[in-house]
Amino acid sequence: MHEEVVFAGFGGQGVLLIGQLVTYAGMIEGANVSWMPSYGPEMRGGTANCQVVVSSKEVSSPLVTEPTSLIALNKPSLDKFAPWVKRGGLIIYNSSLIQSPPGRTDVRVLAVPANEVANELGDLRIANMVALGAYLATSRVVSCDTVLDAMKRVLPERRHNLIPLNRQALARGIEIASVWHSRDRGDVSGRQ
């Protein structure tokens, strides 16, 4: 197993957190991992992304130049990183904020209405977890249970009260991916 993924969006959307969770979950499961964050000086509202490698082999470089997967939570991130994705790879994008899918036909594309689902669950801040759930179900790079375990370790204790809501968001993302998998793997909105 060797997964190279870019998580990208605006600062404040939690892309660095979901990258950390996947990285930490990979460590818990015994994989070799790397996590390399990148963000503008303005943080909130500016661009943010992280490059994550989870592998059964040693990680020779934390740089991800040809990701196997991209999770884009906003349009600038999709525009920037979609061309990088390896042929046959996966692009998951937040269809709540991105109106048109990437123009690639050589990758799998999953539209996830992350903001809409987060609002339905009562907190826009968990849109990242909806997208993460879809990614976990599609890539199977680490298990959702391990991510929840990592969440207890990564989040400060004062935020542990949000774990049940994050669990719901992950579950909704998994449901969206399941609907997508049951179809022909085309671009679907995740709505039933």
What percent of the residues of the chain are helix, what percent strand, and what percent coil, each to the nearest 5? 45, 20, 35
Note the helical H segments in the chain: 15-28, 75-81, 114-121, 127-139, 144-154, 163-182
The alpha carbon of 183 is separated from its chain's Cα centroid by a whole number of angstroms, namely 21
What are the structural domain ranges in the chain?
2-182
Distance CA 17, CA 144 (A): 15
3-state secondary structure 106-128: CCEEEEECHHHHHHHHCCHHHHH
Could you read off the pLDDT of 60-70 as tens digits, one per residue? 888 898 999 99
3-state secondary structure of 33: strand
The per-residue pLDDT for 163 is: 95
Q: Fold for domain 2-182?
A: Pyruvate-ferredoxin Oxidoreductase; domain 3 (3.40.920)
pLDDT mean by block of 10 residues, the chain; 192 residues: 95 93 97 90 72 93 92 96 97 96 94 97 96 97 96 93 96 93 53 34
CA distances from 163 to 150, 172, 176 (A): 11, 14, 20
Please answer whether residues 141 and 26 qualify as being in contact, where contact means their C-beta atoms are separated by less than 8 angstroms.
yes
pTM score? 0.90
Token pair of 121, please?
Answer: 């669950």
